Structure 1
Amino acid sequence: MHPFLTSTGVVALAEIGDKTQLLALMLAARYRRPVPIILGIFLATVFNHAGAAALGHWLTQLVPPHWMRWLLGGSFIAMAAWLLVPDKVDEEEAQTRGHFGVLMTTIVVFFMAEMGDKTQIATVALAARYHDMLAVVMGTTVGMMLANVPAVLMGEAAAHRLPTRWVHAVAALVFAVIGVAVLSGLSFGF
Protein backbone atom coordinates (compact mmCIF):
# COMPACT_ATOMS: atom_id res chain seq x y z
CA MET A 1 0.00 0.00 0.00
CA HIS A 2 2.94 2.35 0.69
CA PRO A 3 4.13 2.43 -2.95
CA PHE A 4 0.62 3.28 -4.18
CA LEU A 5 -0.05 5.99 -1.58
CA THR A 6 3.40 7.55 -1.84
CA SER A 7 3.23 7.55 -5.64
CA THR A 8 -0.24 9.09 -5.59
CA GLY A 9 0.66 11.83 -3.14
CA VAL A 10 3.99 12.75 -4.65
CA VAL A 11 2.69 12.96 -8.22
CA ALA A 12 -0.53 14.79 -7.26
CA LEU A 13 1.54 17.45 -5.49
CA ALA A 14 4.17 17.60 -8.24
CA GLU A 15 1.51 18.01 -10.92
CA ILE A 16 0.01 21.19 -9.42
CA GLY A 17 1.13 24.00 -11.72
CA ASP A 18 3.05 21.56 -13.96
CA LYS A 19 2.99 22.09 -17.72
CA THR A 20 0.70 19.11 -18.23
CA GLN A 21 -1.82 20.61 -15.82
CA LEU A 22 -1.60 23.86 -17.77
CA LEU A 23 -2.07 21.82 -20.92
CA ALA A 24 -5.20 20.25 -19.40
CA LEU A 25 -6.54 23.76 -18.76
CA MET A 26 -5.80 24.81 -22.33
CA LEU A 27 -7.46 21.71 -23.79
CA ALA A 28 -10.52 22.26 -21.58
CA ALA A 29 -10.78 25.88 -22.67
CA ARG A 30 -10.28 25.05 -26.32
CA TYR A 31 -12.57 22.04 -26.71
CA ARG A 32 -15.02 22.40 -23.81
CA ARG A 33 -15.55 18.61 -23.78
CA PRO A 34 -14.36 17.35 -20.39
CA VAL A 35 -15.15 13.62 -20.76
CA PRO A 36 -12.89 12.88 -23.77
CA ILE A 37 -10.19 15.15 -22.34
CA ILE A 38 -10.23 13.34 -18.98
CA LEU A 39 -10.23 9.95 -20.70
CA GLY A 40 -7.35 11.08 -22.94
CA ILE A 41 -5.33 12.26 -19.92
CA PHE A 42 -5.96 8.92 -18.20
CA LEU A 43 -4.92 6.82 -21.20
CA ALA A 44 -1.84 8.93 -21.97
CA THR A 45 -0.77 8.77 -18.32
CA VAL A 46 -1.21 5.00 -18.07
CA PHE A 47 0.84 4.38 -21.22
CA ASN A 48 3.51 6.94 -20.37
CA HIS A 49 3.92 5.96 -16.73
CA ALA A 50 3.85 2.22 -17.52
CA GLY A 51 6.85 2.80 -19.77
CA ALA A 52 8.53 4.94 -17.12
CA ALA A 53 7.94 2.31 -14.44
CA ALA A 54 9.33 -0.39 -16.73
CA LEU A 55 12.43 1.74 -17.20
CA GLY A 56 12.75 2.15 -13.43
CA HIS A 57 12.39 -1.60 -12.94
CA TRP A 58 14.95 -2.30 -15.68
CA LEU A 59 17.43 0.10 -14.06
CA THR A 60 17.23 -1.86 -10.80
CA GLN A 61 18.30 -4.97 -12.74
CA LEU A 62 21.14 -3.12 -14.46
CA VAL A 63 22.61 -0.98 -11.68
CA PRO A 64 24.21 -2.64 -8.61
CA PRO A 65 22.28 -2.00 -5.35
CA HIS A 66 24.98 0.13 -3.71
CA TRP A 67 25.02 2.46 -6.73
CA MET A 68 21.22 2.40 -7.04
CA ARG A 69 20.86 3.83 -3.54
CA TRP A 70 22.99 6.84 -4.49
CA LEU A 71 21.28 7.21 -7.87
CA LEU A 72 17.80 7.10 -6.33
CA GLY A 73 18.64 9.36 -3.40
CA GLY A 74 20.21 11.90 -5.73
CA SER A 75 17.26 11.65 -8.12
CA PHE A 76 14.74 12.38 -5.40
CA ILE A 77 16.77 15.36 -4.17
CA ALA A 78 17.14 16.64 -7.77
CA MET A 79 13.35 16.29 -8.19
CA ALA A 80 12.89 18.36 -5.04
CA ALA A 81 14.98 21.15 -6.55
CA TRP A 82 13.25 20.85 -9.94
CA LEU A 83 9.84 21.24 -8.32
CA LEU A 84 10.85 24.69 -7.15
CA VAL A 85 11.25 25.84 -10.78
CA PRO A 86 7.95 27.15 -12.21
CA ASP A 87 6.56 25.37 -15.27
CA LYS A 88 4.78 26.79 -18.28
CA VAL A 89 3.27 25.13 -21.30
CA ASP A 90 4.50 26.00 -24.76
CA GLU A 91 1.81 27.11 -27.17
CA GLU A 92 3.22 24.67 -29.73
CA GLU A 93 2.46 21.74 -27.42
CA ALA A 94 -1.15 22.83 -27.24
CA GLN A 95 -1.48 23.15 -31.03
CA THR A 96 -3.13 20.07 -32.44
CA ARG A 97 -4.49 18.81 -35.70
CA GLY A 98 -8.25 18.98 -35.92
CA HIS A 99 -8.68 15.63 -37.69
CA PHE A 100 -7.62 13.66 -34.58
CA GLY A 101 -10.68 14.49 -32.51
CA VAL A 102 -10.63 15.59 -28.89
CA LEU A 103 -9.81 12.18 -27.38
CA MET A 104 -6.92 11.29 -29.70
CA THR A 105 -5.60 14.86 -29.61
CA THR A 106 -5.52 14.76 -25.81
CA ILE A 107 -3.81 11.35 -25.76
CA VAL A 108 -1.10 12.38 -28.23
CA VAL A 109 -0.45 15.84 -26.82
CA PHE A 110 -0.48 14.68 -23.19
CA PHE A 111 1.75 11.69 -23.89
CA MET A 112 4.28 13.90 -25.66
CA ALA A 113 4.14 16.64 -23.02
CA GLU A 114 4.77 14.07 -20.29
CA MET A 115 7.99 12.84 -21.96
CA GLY A 116 10.87 13.88 -19.70
CA ASP A 117 8.47 15.73 -17.40
CA LYS A 118 8.85 15.79 -13.62
CA THR A 119 6.11 13.28 -13.03
CA GLN A 120 7.50 10.84 -15.60
CA ILE A 121 10.96 11.00 -14.08
CA ALA A 122 9.42 10.65 -10.61
CA THR A 123 7.66 7.52 -11.86
CA VAL A 124 10.99 6.04 -12.99
CA ALA A 125 12.51 6.76 -9.57
CA LEU A 126 9.48 5.48 -7.64
CA ALA A 127 9.40 2.24 -9.64
CA ALA A 128 13.11 1.74 -9.03
CA ARG A 129 12.64 2.45 -5.34
CA TYR A 130 9.63 0.23 -4.69
CA HIS A 131 10.03 -2.67 -7.14
CA ASP A 132 6.23 -2.69 -7.50
CA MET A 133 5.45 -1.44 -11.00
CA LEU A 134 1.70 -1.95 -10.78
CA ALA A 135 1.31 -0.03 -7.51
CA VAL A 136 3.54 2.78 -8.76
CA VAL A 137 1.76 3.13 -12.13
CA MET A 138 -1.63 3.01 -10.42
CA GLY A 139 -0.50 5.55 -7.83
CA THR A 140 1.10 7.97 -10.28
CA THR A 141 -1.93 7.73 -12.56
CA VAL A 142 -4.31 8.46 -9.68
CA GLY A 143 -2.06 11.36 -8.67
CA MET A 144 -2.18 12.77 -12.21
CA MET A 145 -5.95 12.43 -12.29
CA LEU A 146 -6.35 14.07 -8.86
CA ALA A 147 -4.48 17.11 -10.13
CA ASN A 148 -5.83 17.26 -13.69
CA VAL A 149 -9.51 16.31 -13.46
CA PRO A 150 -10.40 19.35 -11.31
CA ALA A 151 -8.39 21.52 -13.72
CA VAL A 152 -10.45 20.21 -16.64
CA LEU A 153 -13.78 20.42 -14.83
CA MET A 154 -13.37 23.78 -13.14
CA GLY A 155 -11.17 25.46 -15.66
CA GLU A 156 -8.51 28.06 -15.26
CA ALA A 157 -10.24 30.03 -12.49
CA ALA A 158 -9.90 27.12 -10.04
CA ALA A 159 -6.25 26.56 -10.90
CA HIS A 160 -5.35 30.13 -9.98
CA ARG A 161 -6.85 29.69 -6.49
CA LEU A 162 -4.36 27.00 -5.52
CA PRO A 163 -1.22 28.31 -3.81
CA THR A 164 1.08 26.71 -6.38
CA ARG A 165 4.30 27.88 -4.74
CA TRP A 166 3.29 26.32 -1.42
CA VAL A 167 2.11 23.09 -3.02
CA HIS A 168 5.42 22.81 -4.91
CA ALA A 169 7.33 23.57 -1.70
CA VAL A 170 5.52 20.75 0.13
CA ALA A 171 6.12 18.36 -2.79
CA ALA A 172 9.79 19.38 -2.89
CA LEU A 173 10.07 18.72 0.83
CA VAL A 174 8.52 15.25 0.39
CA PHE A 175 10.97 14.43 -2.43
CA ALA A 176 13.90 15.74 -0.36
CA VAL A 177 12.89 13.66 2.67
CA ILE A 178 12.56 10.53 0.51
CA GLY A 179 15.96 11.29 -1.06
CA VAL A 180 17.67 11.72 2.29
CA ALA A 181 15.97 8.60 3.65
CA VAL A 182 17.14 6.56 0.66
CA LEU A 183 20.70 7.91 0.92
CA SER A 184 20.85 7.19 4.64
CA GLY A 185 19.40 3.70 4.21
CA LEU A 186 16.28 4.54 6.25
CA SER A 187 12.85 3.40 5.15
CA PHE A 188 10.13 5.42 6.96
CA GLY A 189 7.61 3.57 4.79
CA PHE A 190 9.05 5.19 1.66
Structure 2
Amino acid sequence: MTSSVPWQVRLSAGTEAVQEEVIRWYQETPHGQAYVPDMVWGTLQTEAYATVILGQVVDFLGVPDDVPAGVARRMQRQRVLYDGEHRYDVVLGEQALYTNIGGPEVMAEQIDRILRDIDLPSLTLGIIPAAAPVNMFPAHGFNLYGDEVHVELISSAVDVTEPSEVGHYREAFRRLSDAALHGGEAKELLHKALSCWDDIRLA
Protein backbone atom coordinates (compact mmCIF):
# COMPACT_ATOMS: atom_id res chain seq x y z
CA MET A 1 0.00 0.00 0.00
CA THR A 2 1.11 3.55 -0.69
CA SER A 3 -0.26 6.48 1.31
CA SER A 4 0.37 10.17 0.73
CA VAL A 5 -0.22 12.95 3.26
CA PRO A 6 0.15 16.64 2.28
CA TRP A 7 2.81 18.46 4.26
CA GLN A 8 0.31 21.12 5.35
CA VAL A 9 -1.59 18.31 7.09
CA ARG A 10 1.44 16.46 8.42
CA LEU A 11 2.98 19.69 9.71
CA SER A 12 -0.25 21.28 10.89
CA ALA A 13 1.00 21.16 14.50
CA GLY A 14 4.53 22.27 13.56
CA THR A 15 7.83 20.60 12.84
CA GLU A 16 8.33 19.16 16.33
CA ALA A 17 5.48 16.65 15.97
CA VAL A 18 6.93 15.24 12.75
CA GLN A 19 10.36 14.89 14.37
CA GLU A 20 8.68 12.92 17.16
CA GLU A 21 7.29 10.59 14.49
CA VAL A 22 10.75 10.11 12.98
CA ILE A 23 12.21 9.36 16.41
CA ARG A 24 9.61 6.61 16.80
CA TRP A 25 10.54 5.14 13.40
CA TYR A 26 14.20 5.14 14.38
CA GLN A 27 13.59 3.57 17.76
CA GLU A 28 11.54 0.79 16.16
CA THR A 29 14.07 0.09 13.38
CA PRO A 30 17.40 -1.44 14.46
CA HIS A 31 18.77 -1.28 10.90
CA GLY A 32 17.77 1.60 8.62
CA GLN A 33 18.89 2.73 5.18
CA ALA A 34 18.75 6.16 3.57
CA TYR A 35 19.60 7.66 0.19
CA VAL A 36 19.91 11.44 0.10
CA PRO A 37 21.17 12.84 -3.22
CA ASP A 38 21.48 16.57 -2.59
CA MET A 39 21.45 17.39 1.12
CA VAL A 40 22.84 15.97 4.35
CA TRP A 41 20.89 13.16 6.00
CA GLY A 42 18.86 14.62 8.86
CA THR A 43 20.43 12.43 11.53
CA LEU A 44 23.88 13.80 10.68
CA GLN A 45 22.84 17.45 10.51
CA THR A 46 24.34 20.06 12.81
CA GLU A 47 22.02 22.33 14.75
CA ALA A 48 22.83 25.26 12.45
CA TYR A 49 22.21 23.24 9.27
CA ALA A 50 18.94 21.83 10.60
CA THR A 51 17.78 25.30 11.63
CA VAL A 52 18.16 26.54 8.07
CA ILE A 53 16.43 23.49 6.58
CA LEU A 54 13.42 23.57 8.90
CA GLY A 55 13.19 27.35 8.51
CA GLN A 56 12.95 26.88 4.76
CA VAL A 57 10.22 24.25 5.24
CA VAL A 58 8.18 26.61 7.43
CA ASP A 59 8.62 29.50 5.02
CA PHE A 60 7.74 27.50 1.90
CA LEU A 61 4.74 25.61 3.29
CA GLY A 62 3.39 28.30 5.60
CA VAL A 63 3.10 25.91 8.56
CA PRO A 64 3.41 26.85 12.25
CA ASP A 65 6.84 28.24 13.06
CA ASP A 66 8.28 26.12 15.86
CA VAL A 67 11.73 25.74 14.32
CA PRO A 68 13.72 25.77 17.60
CA ALA A 69 11.54 22.96 18.99
CA GLY A 70 11.78 20.99 15.75
CA VAL A 71 15.55 21.36 15.67
CA ALA A 72 15.82 20.24 19.30
CA ARG A 73 13.91 17.07 18.46
CA ARG A 74 16.04 16.48 15.36
CA MET A 75 19.14 16.68 17.55
CA GLN A 76 17.49 14.26 20.00
CA ARG A 77 16.91 11.67 17.29
CA GLN A 78 20.65 11.56 16.65
CA ARG A 79 21.13 9.65 19.89
CA VAL A 80 20.47 6.43 17.97
CA LEU A 81 23.94 6.82 16.45
CA TYR A 82 25.52 6.42 19.86
CA ASP A 83 23.26 4.01 21.78
CA GLY A 84 24.90 0.83 20.47
CA GLU A 85 21.53 -0.64 19.47
CA HIS A 86 21.03 0.78 15.97
CA ARG A 87 22.78 0.68 12.62
CA TYR A 88 22.33 2.88 9.56
CA ASP A 89 23.54 2.54 6.00
CA VAL A 90 23.48 5.95 4.33
CA VAL A 91 24.33 7.00 0.79
CA LEU A 92 24.77 10.68 -0.08
CA GLY A 93 25.23 12.20 -3.48
CA GLU A 94 28.40 14.31 -3.68
CA GLN A 95 26.11 17.25 -4.41
CA ALA A 96 24.95 17.06 -0.78
CA LEU A 97 28.38 18.40 0.22
CA TYR A 98 28.00 21.44 -2.02
CA THR A 99 24.31 22.39 -1.78
CA ASN A 100 24.58 25.74 -0.01
CA ILE A 101 22.56 25.48 3.19
CA GLY A 102 23.23 28.53 5.32
CA GLY A 103 26.51 29.67 3.79
CA PRO A 104 30.16 28.60 4.08
CA GLU A 105 30.36 28.71 7.89
CA VAL A 106 27.40 26.38 8.29
CA MET A 107 28.60 24.09 5.51
CA ALA A 108 32.16 23.84 6.84
CA GLU A 109 30.86 22.99 10.31
CA GLN A 110 28.49 20.44 8.80
CA ILE A 111 31.14 18.61 6.80
CA ASP A 112 33.49 18.64 9.77
CA ARG A 113 30.73 16.97 11.80
CA ILE A 114 30.36 14.22 9.18
CA LEU A 115 34.11 13.64 9.26
CA ARG A 116 33.93 13.21 13.05
CA ASP A 117 31.12 10.65 12.84
CA ILE A 118 31.97 8.73 9.68
CA ASP A 119 33.79 6.00 11.60
CA LEU A 120 31.02 5.36 14.13
CA PRO A 121 30.28 1.62 14.44
CA SER A 122 26.60 2.41 13.92
CA LEU A 123 27.14 4.17 10.59
CA THR A 124 28.11 3.02 7.11
CA LEU A 125 28.36 6.15 4.98
CA GLY A 126 28.88 6.12 1.24
CA ILE A 127 29.17 9.09 -1.11
CA ILE A 128 28.47 8.82 -4.84
CA PRO A 129 30.94 11.02 -6.76
CA ALA A 130 29.26 13.48 -9.10
CA ALA A 131 30.69 11.81 -12.22
CA ALA A 132 30.43 8.22 -11.02
CA PRO A 133 28.71 5.66 -13.26
CA VAL A 134 25.60 4.40 -11.49
CA ASN A 135 23.61 1.35 -12.56
CA MET A 136 20.41 3.15 -11.59
CA PHE A 137 18.46 5.99 -13.19
CA PRO A 138 18.48 9.29 -11.23
CA ALA A 139 16.04 9.01 -8.34
CA HIS A 140 14.60 10.95 -5.43
CA GLY A 141 15.82 10.38 -1.90
CA PHE A 142 14.17 7.85 0.38
CA ASN A 143 14.43 6.18 3.78
CA LEU A 144 13.96 2.46 4.46
CA TYR A 145 12.59 1.63 7.91
CA GLY A 146 12.26 -2.14 8.11
CA ASP A 147 9.44 -3.08 5.72
CA GLU A 148 8.40 0.53 5.06
CA VAL A 149 9.76 3.24 2.78
CA HIS A 150 9.36 6.94 3.51
CA VAL A 151 9.67 9.43 0.66
CA GLU A 152 9.57 13.21 1.07
CA LEU A 153 8.16 15.07 -1.94
CA ILE A 154 7.71 18.83 -2.29
CA SER A 155 4.00 18.78 -1.52
CA SER A 156 3.57 15.63 0.53
CA ALA A 157 5.15 12.75 2.42
CA VAL A 158 4.65 9.27 1.00
CA ASP A 159 4.79 5.98 2.90
CA VAL A 160 5.22 2.77 0.89
CA THR A 161 4.45 -0.61 2.47
CA GLU A 162 3.53 -2.82 -0.52
CA PRO A 163 6.22 -5.56 -0.41
CA SER A 164 6.90 -5.54 -4.16
CA GLU A 165 7.39 -1.77 -4.14
CA VAL A 166 9.59 -1.91 -1.05
CA GLY A 167 11.65 -4.51 -2.90
CA HIS A 168 12.29 -2.01 -5.70
CA TYR A 169 13.63 0.46 -3.16
CA ARG A 170 15.88 -2.17 -1.59
CA GLU A 171 17.35 -2.98 -5.00
CA ALA A 172 17.74 0.72 -5.80
CA PHE A 173 19.62 1.24 -2.54
CA ARG A 174 21.90 -1.70 -3.29
CA ARG A 175 22.80 -0.26 -6.69
CA LEU A 176 23.33 3.23 -5.31
CA SER A 177 25.50 1.87 -2.50
CA ASP A 178 27.57 -0.10 -5.02
CA ALA A 179 28.32 3.17 -6.85
CA ALA A 180 29.33 5.02 -3.68
CA LEU A 181 32.78 5.45 -2.19
CA HIS A 182 33.28 4.41 1.41
CA GLY A 183 35.96 4.70 4.08
CA GLY A 184 39.07 6.61 3.11
CA GLU A 185 37.79 7.44 -0.37
CA ALA A 186 34.63 8.99 1.07
CA LYS A 187 36.77 10.99 3.50
CA GLU A 188 38.75 12.36 0.55
CA LEU A 189 35.53 13.70 -0.97
CA LEU A 190 34.59 15.24 2.37
CA HIS A 191 37.99 16.91 2.79
CA LYS A 192 37.78 18.24 -0.77
CA ALA A 193 34.39 19.81 -0.04
CA LEU A 194 35.60 21.18 3.30
CA SER A 195 38.53 22.86 1.56
CA CYS A 196 36.13 24.40 -0.95
CA TRP A 197 33.94 25.91 1.76
CA ASP A 198 36.99 27.06 3.73
CA ASP A 199 38.31 28.84 0.64
CA ILE A 200 34.97 30.61 0.18
CA ARG A 201 34.78 31.47 3.87
CA LEU A 202 38.27 32.95 3.96
CA ALA A 203 38.11 34.75 0.59
TM-score, with structure 2 as normaliser:
0.27
TM-score, with structure 1 as normaliser:
0.28
Larger RCO, structures 1/2 (Cα 8 Å, 6+ apart): 1
